[in-house]
Amino acid sequence: MTYVIAEPCIGVKDASCVDVCPVDCIHPAPTEPDFEIMAQLYIDPDECIDCGACEPECPVFAIFAEDAVPDQWVGYTQINADYYKR
């Protein structure tokens, strides 16, 4: 499984989640070139170890376990994965 970042991150992008991820699988981080141009952050599904550490850190409740993504945001599972296929 993986965790997924959904729509509420858009426009917030405070990167609280980046700081707590033990495997650095949330990008783009503020230090990376893409950070300014991407609307939100994304979790790499191949690297995420499902630890759940990021979920409670998000101030806008944008992070969900893949099997708990609300119906209106299920498309974000693919959107997160697609960022890493570019």
Q: How far is the CB of 55 from ligand SF4 (least distance, A)?
A: 7
The DSSP string of 52-68 is --SGGG-TT--EEEGGG
Do 73 and 49 meet the contact criterion of CB atoms below 8 Å apart?
no
Among 7, 29, 38, 60, the residue binding ligand SF4 under the rule CB under 6 A is 60
The one among 25, 27, 69, 80 contacting ligand SF4 by CB under 6 A: 25
Q: Locate all alpha helices (DSSP H) within the chain, ordered by sequence.
A: 16-20, 75-83
| The one among 26, 64, 69, 76 contacting ligand SF4 by CB under 6 A | 26
For ligand SF4, the closer of residues 23 and 74 by Cβ is 23
